[in-house]
Amino acid sequence: KVGVITSVLIGLSATKVLTEKRLEFFRESGSGYNINAYFLAVNITSSVEHGSQIIFCAGISLWLRNSARSGLSYILNYISLGWICISWALLFPLIVPPKNVVLVTGFFFTFFGLLLSGALSPVLYEDLYDDKNTGLAIISGLFSPTRYFIETMTVSEQRTLPAQSGFTVITSEASSLYNNATSFDLIGLAQNDMPGVTVQSSEGWFWGEWRSFLVGCTVRFAAFLALNICYRAKQAKVPFLKEMKTNRSALIAFYMMCIAFAAFLSLSVYYILN
Protein backbone atom coordinates (compact mmCIF):
# COMPACT_ATOMS: atom_id res chain seq x y z
CA LYS A 1 0.00 0.00 0.00
CA VAL A 2 2.82 2.39 0.86
CA GLY A 3 4.46 1.73 -2.49
CA VAL A 4 1.29 2.36 -4.50
CA ILE A 5 0.35 5.51 -2.58
CA THR A 6 3.87 6.90 -2.84
CA SER A 7 4.10 6.14 -6.56
CA VAL A 8 0.78 7.88 -7.27
CA LEU A 9 1.70 10.99 -5.28
CA ILE A 10 5.19 11.29 -6.75
CA GLY A 11 3.90 10.59 -10.25
CA LEU A 12 1.15 13.20 -10.10
CA SER A 13 3.53 15.75 -8.65
CA ALA A 14 6.18 15.13 -11.31
CA THR A 15 3.76 15.55 -14.22
CA LYS A 16 3.29 19.21 -13.28
CA VAL A 17 6.82 19.98 -14.47
CA LEU A 18 5.63 19.63 -18.06
CA THR A 19 1.90 20.27 -17.84
CA GLU A 20 2.18 23.65 -16.10
CA LYS A 21 4.73 24.98 -18.60
CA ARG A 22 3.23 23.41 -21.70
CA LEU A 23 2.48 26.69 -23.49
CA GLU A 24 5.92 28.10 -22.69
CA PHE A 25 7.49 24.94 -24.05
CA PHE A 26 5.56 25.16 -27.32
CA ARG A 27 6.52 28.82 -27.67
CA GLU A 28 10.22 28.24 -27.06
CA SER A 29 10.23 25.18 -29.30
CA GLY A 30 8.65 27.18 -32.11
CA SER A 31 11.36 29.82 -31.64
CA GLY A 32 14.02 27.31 -32.59
CA TYR A 33 15.41 26.31 -29.20
CA ASN A 34 16.76 22.79 -28.78
CA ILE A 35 13.94 20.76 -27.24
CA ASN A 36 16.24 17.84 -26.41
CA ALA A 37 18.44 20.09 -24.29
CA TYR A 38 15.32 21.44 -22.59
CA PHE A 39 14.01 17.98 -21.82
CA LEU A 40 17.40 16.84 -20.54
CA ALA A 41 17.37 19.78 -18.13
CA VAL A 42 13.84 18.86 -17.05
CA ASN A 43 14.99 15.29 -16.38
CA ILE A 44 17.82 16.47 -14.17
CA THR A 45 15.89 19.08 -12.21
CA SER A 46 12.86 16.82 -11.74
CA SER A 47 15.01 13.95 -10.53
CA VAL A 48 16.74 16.19 -8.01
CA GLU A 49 13.58 17.93 -6.82
CA HIS A 50 11.33 14.91 -6.48
CA GLY A 51 14.21 12.69 -5.45
CA SER A 52 14.75 15.01 -2.48
CA GLN A 53 11.07 14.72 -1.62
CA ILE A 54 11.11 10.94 -1.68
CA ILE A 55 14.30 10.82 0.40
CA PHE A 56 12.52 12.95 2.99
CA CYS A 57 9.53 10.58 2.92
CA ALA A 58 11.86 7.58 3.20
CA GLY A 59 13.55 9.11 6.23
CA ILE A 60 10.22 9.57 8.00
CA SER A 61 9.14 6.05 7.07
CA LEU A 62 12.41 4.62 8.35
CA TRP A 63 12.02 6.49 11.62
CA LEU A 64 8.46 5.23 12.11
CA ARG A 65 9.17 1.68 10.99
CA ASN A 66 12.49 1.22 12.82
CA SER A 67 13.58 -1.36 10.26
CA ALA A 68 16.08 -4.10 11.09
CA ARG A 69 17.85 -3.54 7.77
CA SER A 70 20.36 -0.77 7.11
CA GLY A 71 18.99 2.72 6.67
CA LEU A 72 20.97 3.25 3.47
CA SER A 73 19.38 0.29 1.69
CA TYR A 74 15.95 1.36 2.95
CA ILE A 75 16.30 4.87 1.51
CA LEU A 76 17.85 3.56 -1.71
CA ASN A 77 14.77 1.43 -2.27
CA TYR A 78 12.59 4.54 -2.10
CA ILE A 79 14.93 6.38 -4.47
CA SER A 80 14.58 3.55 -7.00
CA LEU A 81 10.80 3.77 -6.74
CA GLY A 82 10.98 7.52 -7.28
CA TRP A 83 13.26 7.08 -10.31
CA ILE A 84 10.70 4.89 -12.08
CA CYS A 85 7.72 7.05 -11.09
CA ILE A 86 9.37 10.27 -12.28
CA SER A 87 10.31 8.57 -15.55
CA TRP A 88 6.70 7.66 -16.33
CA ALA A 89 5.51 11.07 -15.14
CA LEU A 90 7.77 12.72 -17.72
CA LEU A 91 6.42 10.51 -20.51
CA PHE A 92 2.67 10.86 -20.03
CA PRO A 93 2.41 14.65 -20.60
CA LEU A 94 4.13 14.15 -23.96
CA ILE A 95 1.68 11.57 -25.32
CA VAL A 96 -1.57 12.22 -23.42
CA PRO A 97 -3.87 15.25 -23.88
CA PRO A 98 -3.39 17.77 -21.02
CA LYS A 99 -6.88 17.34 -19.59
CA ASN A 100 -6.35 13.58 -19.23
CA VAL A 101 -2.81 13.52 -17.83
CA VAL A 102 -3.85 13.35 -14.16
CA LEU A 103 -6.44 10.64 -14.84
CA VAL A 104 -4.10 8.50 -16.95
CA THR A 105 -1.19 8.89 -14.53
CA GLY A 106 -3.26 8.00 -11.48
CA PHE A 107 -4.87 5.03 -13.21
CA PHE A 108 -1.55 3.73 -14.54
CA PHE A 109 0.24 3.81 -11.20
CA THR A 110 -2.72 2.37 -9.31
CA PHE A 111 -3.64 -0.35 -11.80
CA PHE A 112 -0.17 -1.61 -12.66
CA GLY A 113 1.18 -0.92 -9.18
CA LEU A 114 -1.44 -3.18 -7.60
CA LEU A 115 -2.20 -5.86 -10.17
CA LEU A 116 1.25 -6.47 -11.68
CA SER A 117 3.53 -5.97 -8.69
CA GLY A 118 3.49 -9.66 -7.80
CA ALA A 119 2.25 -9.05 -4.27
CA LEU A 120 -1.46 -9.51 -5.01
CA SER A 121 -3.63 -11.75 -7.16
CA PRO A 122 -4.03 -12.31 -10.05
CA VAL A 123 -0.26 -11.95 -10.57
CA LEU A 124 1.93 -13.39 -7.82
CA TYR A 125 5.70 -13.61 -7.51
CA GLU A 126 5.64 -17.33 -8.22
CA ASP A 127 3.94 -16.51 -11.53
CA LEU A 128 6.54 -13.90 -12.42
CA TYR A 129 9.41 -16.29 -11.75
CA ASP A 130 7.83 -19.16 -13.66
CA ASP A 131 9.80 -19.89 -16.84
CA LYS A 132 6.51 -20.34 -18.68
CA ASN A 133 5.48 -16.75 -17.96
CA THR A 134 8.40 -14.78 -19.40
CA GLY A 135 6.05 -12.40 -21.20
CA LEU A 136 4.19 -11.65 -17.99
CA ALA A 137 7.48 -11.11 -16.16
CA ILE A 138 8.64 -8.64 -18.80
CA ILE A 139 5.36 -6.70 -18.76
CA SER A 140 5.40 -6.54 -14.98
CA GLY A 141 9.05 -5.53 -14.83
CA LEU A 142 8.61 -2.76 -17.39
CA PHE A 143 5.21 -1.35 -16.47
CA SER A 144 4.64 -1.93 -12.76
CA PRO A 145 6.23 0.92 -10.77
CA THR A 146 6.10 -1.12 -7.54
CA ARG A 147 7.39 -4.40 -9.00
CA TYR A 148 10.84 -4.08 -7.43
CA PHE A 149 9.98 -1.80 -4.52
CA ILE A 150 7.62 -4.21 -2.75
CA GLU A 151 9.76 -7.29 -3.30
CA THR A 152 12.94 -5.51 -2.23
CA MET A 153 11.24 -4.20 0.90
CA THR A 154 9.95 -7.65 1.81
CA VAL A 155 13.10 -9.63 1.04
CA SER A 156 15.40 -7.15 2.77
CA GLU A 157 13.44 -7.47 6.00
CA GLN A 158 13.26 -11.25 5.83
CA ARG A 159 16.99 -11.59 5.19
CA THR A 160 17.63 -10.20 8.65
CA LEU A 161 15.85 -13.14 10.31
CA PRO A 162 17.84 -15.99 11.87
CA ALA A 163 18.14 -19.40 10.25
CA GLN A 164 15.31 -20.97 12.25
CA SER A 165 12.88 -18.69 10.40
CA GLY A 166 13.51 -20.67 7.22
CA PHE A 167 14.43 -17.60 5.18
CA THR A 168 18.15 -17.74 5.83
CA VAL A 169 20.44 -20.75 5.90
CA ILE A 170 23.67 -21.57 7.70
CA THR A 171 25.35 -23.72 5.07
CA SER A 172 27.60 -25.58 7.49
CA GLU A 173 24.58 -26.71 9.50
CA ALA A 174 22.20 -27.38 6.59
CA SER A 175 24.45 -28.99 4.03
CA SER A 176 21.81 -31.61 3.18
CA LEU A 177 19.02 -29.09 2.63
CA TYR A 178 17.43 -29.83 -0.71
CA ASN A 179 16.70 -27.21 -3.34
CA ASN A 180 13.55 -25.08 -3.18
CA ALA A 181 13.16 -25.73 0.53
CA THR A 182 13.57 -22.26 2.04
CA SER A 183 10.76 -19.92 3.00
CA PHE A 184 11.70 -17.68 0.07
CA ASP A 185 10.96 -20.60 -2.24
CA LEU A 186 7.64 -21.33 -0.56
CA ILE A 187 6.34 -17.78 -1.07
CA GLY A 188 8.05 -17.30 -4.44
CA LEU A 189 10.33 -14.38 -3.61
CA ALA A 190 13.83 -13.62 -4.97
CA GLN A 191 13.94 -16.74 -7.13
CA ASN A 192 16.53 -15.27 -9.49
CA ASP A 193 18.94 -14.65 -6.64
CA MET A 194 19.15 -18.13 -5.17
CA PRO A 195 21.00 -19.19 -3.07
CA GLY A 196 22.65 -15.83 -2.37
CA VAL A 197 19.52 -14.31 -0.88
CA THR A 198 19.45 -16.99 1.85
CA VAL A 199 22.59 -15.59 3.49
CA GLN A 200 21.55 -13.69 6.61
CA SER A 201 22.32 -9.98 6.29
CA SER A 202 21.07 -6.64 7.55
CA GLU A 203 22.62 -4.75 4.64
CA GLY A 204 19.53 -5.10 2.47
CA TRP A 205 18.86 -6.76 -0.88
CA PHE A 206 19.84 -4.89 -4.03
CA TRP A 207 18.74 -7.23 -6.82
CA GLY A 208 15.98 -4.88 -7.97
CA GLU A 209 17.86 -1.57 -7.84
CA TRP A 210 19.81 -2.06 -11.08
CA ARG A 211 16.67 -3.23 -12.86
CA SER A 212 14.75 -0.19 -11.62
CA PHE A 213 17.46 2.07 -13.00
CA LEU A 214 17.43 0.38 -16.41
CA VAL A 215 13.64 0.50 -16.69
CA GLY A 216 13.64 4.17 -15.71
CA CYS A 217 16.23 4.96 -18.38
CA THR A 218 14.20 3.04 -20.96
CA VAL A 219 11.08 5.06 -20.18
CA ARG A 220 13.01 8.34 -20.29
CA PHE A 221 14.45 7.61 -23.72
CA ALA A 222 10.93 6.69 -24.85
CA ALA A 223 9.94 10.16 -23.63
CA PHE A 224 12.76 11.71 -25.69
CA LEU A 225 11.39 9.95 -28.77
CA ALA A 226 7.84 11.06 -28.01
CA LEU A 227 9.06 14.63 -27.53
CA ASN A 228 10.31 14.69 -31.12
CA ILE A 229 7.25 12.99 -32.63
CA CYS A 230 4.13 14.23 -30.82
CA TYR A 231 2.40 17.63 -30.96
CA ARG A 232 4.73 19.02 -33.63
CA ALA A 233 2.05 21.30 -35.06
CA LYS A 234 1.71 23.09 -31.73
CA GLN A 235 5.47 23.52 -31.68
CA ALA A 236 5.31 25.27 -35.06
CA LYS A 237 7.43 22.51 -36.58
CA VAL A 238 7.15 20.68 -39.88
CA PRO A 239 5.81 17.09 -39.85
CA PHE A 240 8.17 14.56 -38.34
CA LEU A 241 8.86 12.56 -41.50
CA LYS A 242 9.52 15.70 -43.51
CA GLU A 243 12.07 16.94 -40.98
CA MET A 244 13.82 13.57 -40.97
CA LYS A 245 14.18 13.85 -44.75
CA THR A 246 15.43 17.44 -44.82
CA ASN A 247 17.37 17.85 -41.55
CA ARG A 248 20.33 15.50 -41.35
CA SER A 249 21.40 16.54 -37.84
CA ALA A 250 17.88 15.90 -36.52
CA LEU A 251 17.88 12.50 -38.21
CA ILE A 252 21.19 11.54 -36.62
CA ALA A 253 20.03 12.72 -33.19
CA PHE A 254 16.82 10.73 -33.53
CA TYR A 255 18.70 7.60 -34.59
CA MET A 256 20.99 7.94 -31.59
CA MET A 257 18.00 8.17 -29.27
CA CYS A 258 16.45 5.11 -30.94
CA ILE A 259 19.67 3.16 -30.41
CA ALA A 260 19.84 4.25 -26.76
CA PHE A 261 16.20 3.30 -26.23
CA ALA A 262 16.70 -0.12 -27.84
CA ALA A 263 19.86 -0.72 -25.80
CA PHE A 264 18.24 0.11 -22.47
CA LEU A 265 15.12 -1.87 -23.38
CA SER A 266 17.22 -4.92 -24.24
CA LEU A 267 19.23 -4.63 -21.03
CA SER A 268 16.03 -4.21 -19.02
CA VAL A 269 14.45 -7.32 -20.50
CA TYR A 270 17.63 -9.33 -20.02
CA TYR A 271 18.01 -8.44 -16.35
CA ILE A 272 14.30 -8.81 -15.65
CA LEU A 273 14.52 -12.44 -16.72
CA ASN A 274 17.82 -13.17 -14.96
Write out pLDDT tens, residues 21-70: 777 777 777 777 778 888 888 899 999 999 998 999 889 988 888 888 88
Write out pLDDT tens, residues 112-135: 988 898 888 888 999 999 989 999
Q: 84 vs 243, which has greater pLDDT?
A: 84
**What is the pTM (predicted TM-score) of this model?**
0.90
**For residue 221, what pLDDT band results from cuts at 50, 70 and 90?**
very high
Domain boundaries, the chain: 2-160+208-272, 162-200
Query: Rounded distance, CA 261 to CA 256, Å?
Result: 9
DSSP per-residue letters across 178-226: PTT-SHHHHHT-SGGGTTGGGS--SS---HHHHHHHHHHHHHHHHHHHH
What's the whole-number mean pLDDT along residues 222-241?
A: 84
